[in-house]
């Protein structure tokens, strides 16, 4: 009881530190030019300070290095904070100077390498139902780097509305913390670090929720994505039979938005790194949702994903597979309903409509029959043209032969 009280009080202090630091960071952001100006792809109508994630990082670092120095080993803390510092510097430079995607990727890759080699946090095994546990060996390095880069960029992509990325991060980290606490009883440091980070985000959250007075910026979005990816590698290790799917479900909102953005840009013959206004929050806004309503809707989606991830830890292998299939079906249906890939790209909706709507089915079958008939007619016309062409050639040949004979 005494330990729990001390832990909660330290979390409260962390939240207060973040609450106090945020207005100071707001002033510093204007001084150093870390601001977000209105534009075609921007929701804000006035210049807003970014680099708000700096207050989260500083309060989080203060808590781990000072408040929890007697609870969490320093050898565990400093390699993680070093990687986080590399990401924060990369994000801050991007908020000020707008780095290229290659430059940002270079900074994130450097942080991922530090986490792999210095912190020793890595993907070493993968557990799959009915098949067992597989040791990745040398593939652990590229898989770890890919995981960190993917999750970090996914969280950065959903940072498009006030309080969206910070709120989704709180929900995801809470789920990871609960799973790690109950399924990794011998590793108390991991859930302690997770809930410390949550406390730092909660202190920043009142300034970031709609109407926001400061943005996370790439400083905060990249930092939160990086920490979620790193902590998920630790907090979900051996937590379930499907160690790959569980973190993907918890981070379902940013991962889904990122994957479908890549598919959409591929269909539209655009670069994968190109920007557009077709992300999840953009689509909900275009459907008539208010700013606050859009954010709360995505919060609800994140909670659904987290609840499913929690259920997976108590389900059998067969139930887990059925749960994954039904979740995938529901995601695809929702994505097509809001038109995330495109308003005219709804294969599942068309299939369900074909099965359940008789008139639509007859219309589709008639259209297919007409299309086949048109192809057959085009083929017959081609044959007629070919035969007439051969007849013309034959007549020309005979005429030439007659003229040559007449001349002789």
Comparing C-alpha atoms, which of 4, 339, 359, 393 is closest to residue 181?
4
Mean pLDDT of 35-53: 77
Q: How confident is the model at residue 384 (pLDDT cuts 50, 70, 90)?
A: low
Identify the pLDDT of residue 407. Answer: 54
The answer to whether residue 139 scores a pLDDT higher than 80 is yes
How far, in Å, CA of 167 to CA of 296, rounded?
A: 9
Q: What does the DSSP assignment read for 211-261?
A: SPSS--HHHHHHHHHHHHHHHHHHHTTTSSS-TTHHHHHHTHHHHHHHHHH
Mean pLDDT of 258-280: 79
CA quadruple 8, 11, 15, 16: dihedral positive or negative?
A: positive
The answer to whether residue 79 scores a pLDDT higher than 60 is yes
Could you read off the pLDDT of 182-195 as tens digits, one per residue? 876 667 888 999 99
Torsion of CA 385, 387, 391, 394, to 10 degrees: 120
How far, in Å, CA of 274 to CA of 213, rounded?
A: 28
Q: How confident is the model at residue 360 (pLDDT cuts 50, 70, 90)?
A: confident
Average pLDDT, the chain: 83
How far, in Å, CA of 214 to CA of 207, rounded?
A: 6
Comparing C-alpha atoms, which of 121, 225, 241 is closest to residue 173?
225
Could you read off the pLDDT of 141-152 as tens digits, one per residue? 998 999 999 999
The answer to whether residue 172 scores a pLDDT higher than 50 is yes
């Amino acid at each position: 009881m005494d330990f729990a009280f001390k832990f909660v009080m330290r979390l409260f202090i962390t939240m207060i530190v973040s609450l106090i630091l945020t207005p100071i960071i707001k002033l510093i952001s204007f001084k150093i030019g870390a601001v977000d100006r209105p534009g075609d792809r921007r929701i804000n109508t006035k210049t807003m300070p970014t680099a708000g994630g700096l207050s989260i990082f500083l309060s989080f670092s203060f808590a781990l290095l000072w408040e929890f120095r007697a609870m969490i080993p320093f050898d565990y803390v400093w390699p993680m904070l070093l990687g986080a510092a590399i990401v924060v510097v990369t994000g801050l430079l991007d908020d000020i100077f707008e780095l290229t995607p290659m430059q940002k990727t270079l900074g994130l890759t450097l942080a991922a390498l530090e986490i792999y080699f210095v912190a020793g946090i890595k993907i070493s095994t993968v557990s799959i139902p009915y098949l067992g546990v597989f040791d990745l060996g040398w593939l652990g390095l590229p898989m770890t780097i890919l995981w960190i880069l993917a999750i970090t960029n996914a969280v950065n992509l959903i940072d498009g509305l006030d309080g969206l990325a910070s709120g989704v991060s709180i929900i995801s980290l809470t789920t990871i913390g609960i799973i790690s606490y109950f399924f990794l009883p011998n590793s108390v440091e991991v859930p302690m670090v997770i809930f410390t980070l949550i406390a730092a985000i909660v202190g920043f959250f009142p300034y970031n929720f709609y109407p926001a007075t400061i943005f996370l910026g790439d400083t905060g979005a990249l930092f939160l994505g990086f920490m979620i990816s790193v902590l998920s590698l630790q907090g979900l290790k051996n937590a379930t039979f499907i160690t790959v799917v569980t973190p993907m479900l918890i981070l379902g909102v940013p991962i889904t938005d990122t994957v479908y953005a890549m598919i959409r840009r591929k269909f539209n013959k655009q670069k994968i790194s190109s920007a557009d206004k077709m992300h999840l929050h953009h689509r909900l806004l275009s459907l008539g949702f208010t700013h606050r309503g859009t954010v709360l809707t995505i919060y609800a989606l994140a909670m659904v994903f987290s609840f499913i991830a929690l259920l997976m830890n108590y389900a059998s292998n067969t139930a887990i597979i059925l749960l994954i299939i039904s979740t995938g079906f529901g995601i695809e249906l929702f994505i097509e309903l809001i038109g995330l890939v495109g308003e005219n790209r709804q294969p599942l909706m068309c299939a369900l409509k074909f099965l359940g709507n008789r008139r639509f089915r007859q219309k589709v079958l008639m259209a297919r029959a007409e299309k086949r008939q048109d192809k057959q007619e085009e083929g017959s016309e081609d044959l007629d043209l070919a035969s007439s062409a051969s007849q013309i050639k034959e007549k020309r040949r005979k005429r030439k032969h007659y003229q040559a004979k007449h001349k002789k």
